[in-house]
Amino acid sequence: MFVRGVPVTFENYRALVMENRVGDLHNDPGDWFIHCVLKYAGEAGEFPEHVGKAQRDDGWRVRYGPKAFTPERREKLLSEIGDELWYVVALLEEMDSTLEEVMAINMEKMLGRRDRGTLNGSGDDR
């Protein structure tokens, strides 16, 4: 997949995130990190906001499932996930990490839970 001739890869996406830091907050690592945390939290609320709008404005119902969103709503929902991803990648950059490292950590956790039969339940350390 390409966007404007640029291959869609994690490295190209990461580079774009870094090139598009705005203002001067990124000159202070602490302020930039907190800015990204706050923006990530805000963006995380916009996805469910659009699900609520789908119920209210589009006639979508839970029983229809996520494949029944209108094409316009689906595009908005994916856009909001992209906004979250933007800040996830920014946070990972500030923490000297990558999506691959996070996926590896999470895969280990989930495979361990599967092995122990604890996929259901609660608590981080099950």
Applying CB under 5 A, which residues contact Mg ion? 43, 46, 80, 83
CB closer to Mg ion out of 42 and 112: 42
Position with the least CB separation from Mg ion? 83
Taking the complex as a whole, the smallest distance from the CB of residue 88 to Mg ion amounts, in Å, to 13
Taking a C-beta distance cutoff of 8 angstroms, is the pair 36, 90 a contact? Answer: yes
The CB-of-44 to Mg ion minimum distance in angstroms stands at: 9
Say if CB 13 and CB 90 are below 8 A apart.
Answer: no
- Amino acid at site 109: K
Contacts of 126 (CB under 8 A, 6+ apart): 113, 116, 118
Nearest residue (CB) to Mg ion, 43 versus 90: 43
Residue 116 has, within 13 A of its CA and on its CB side, a CA count of 12
Nearest distance, CB of residue 77 and Mg ion, angstroms: 10
Cα(37)–Cα(31) distance, rounded to whole angstroms? 10
The least distance separating Mg ion from the CB of residue 82, rounded to whole angstroms, comes to: 8
Tell me whether residue 29 or residue 48 sits nearer to Mg ion (CB atom). Answer: 48
Residue (28 or 75) nearer to Mg ion, CB: 75
